[in-house]
Amino acid sequence: MKILVTGGAGYIGSHTVVELLESGHEVVIIDDFSNSSGEVLDKISMITDKEFVFYEGDVCDKNFLESVFAKENIDSVIHFAGYKAVGESVANPLKYYRNNIDSTLSLLEVMDNNKVYNFVFSSSACVYGVPDTLPMKEDFPLSPTNPYGYTKLFIEQILKDLSHSNDKWNIALLRYFNPIGAHESGLIGENPNGVPNNIMPYIMRVATGQYDKVHVFGNDYDTEDGTGVRDYIHVVDLAKGHIKAIDYLNSNDGLSIFNLGTGIGHSVMELIKITEKVNDVAVPYVIDERRPGDIDEYYADPSLANEKLGWKAEKDIEDMCRDAYIFAFKNN
């Protein structure tokens, strides 16, 4: 099958392209390099030794998309392209609503024009509100706490409406928990521009000596060691979930929602300690004030994805900390 991957030069997109190529799919990537670079494409070629097609451009641009669909006989689309920094979305909400929603609308309209109806969307656990119980199931109440989360919720609603309007659409909403780690080759991984928003790239910059210490925001949460607990998932496991979702859409109609997580929570302090242990490095840290809006803990119930997609996260937290460090060390 020929799969269009928007945002395929990004962190999760690049790992998914590797898995798609390795499972025999043809891949067409679109990216505007707003948060990535062309180097990633060379790395994908080095890892897979397989060919793929790349178009540089903006997914919001319908004329550009039409030109890609005219040249490529696309079967299914995986839509990663979008902005993802929570803090920036609070400071600049219009940038987030414009890019995340506009890109999705343009893409869906062009897909419809070209009779392509299989769509996998990158949603996020941040669409959920503060959970009353754990683990989190797909039918838990939805209540994002920032504009980024709202872009995901609004797009989910658009996709639900679309699916209700016509049963030709086959849609998978994948709600990712906290992707970390890197490809075991150390060639691709997460290396954000500027100061990282997420904890793991920050820990890696401390582990590789680029920053002095990790700032742990709060150690008085209602968790075992007092630091926040999240469901970290290896990015390669997450990537494999997309291959299963593409297969699923070929034999299942309508819209489906899946949590992609491990179902296991780990604390920030555990991430630091495990990074130190598996890589034999020091990760100094300091305890700072809690950040407003952070919650004690959450983790997924991934049983629906286990059962319906035949997918299960296989890599553990030590694999995640080891692979993230190998990538950070090589790309320091």
Distances (CA, A) of 317 to 145, 174, 233: 27, 21, 8
Is 148 a catalytic site residue?
A: yes
Site for ligand NAD in 165-184 (CB under 6 A): 176, 179
Residue among 76, 89, 104, 122 that touches ligand NAD (CB under 6 A): 122
Closest to ligand NAD by CB, 7 or 228: 7
Q: Residue 62 or 281: which CB sits closer to ligand NAD?
A: 62
Binding of residue 82 to ligand NAD (CB under 6 A): yes
Work out which of 4, 27, 28, 60 binds ligand NAD, going by CB under 6 A.
60
CB 199 within 8 A of CB 215: no
Beta bridge partners of residue 300, listed in sequence order: 136
Spatial CA neighbour of 240 closest among 186, 157, 299, 302: 302
Region of 9-17, 138-146, 241-249, 304-312 interacting with ligand NAD (CB under 6 A): 9-17
* Angle between helical axes of 11-22 and 235-251 (0-180°, round to 10): 60
Cα–Cα distance between 246 and 90 in angstroms, integer?
33
Find residue 180's DSSP bridge partners.
Answer: 234
Q: How far is the CB of 81 from ligand NAD (least distance, A)?
A: 4
Tokens of 198: 């997420």
Binding to ligand NAD by residue 299, rule CB under 6 A?
Answer: no
Give the range of 29-37, 63-71, 257-265, 286-294 binding ligand NAD by CB under 6 A.
29-37
Q: Where are the alpha helices (DSSP H) in 86-229?
A: 86-91, 93-96, 102-113, 147-165, 199-207
Residue 31 binds ligand NAD, judged by CB under 6 A: yes
Single-letter amino acid code for the residue at 206: V
- The residue ranges that bind ligand NAD (CB under 6 A) are 7, 9-13, 30-36, 58-60, 80-82, 84, 99, 103, 122, 124, 176, 179
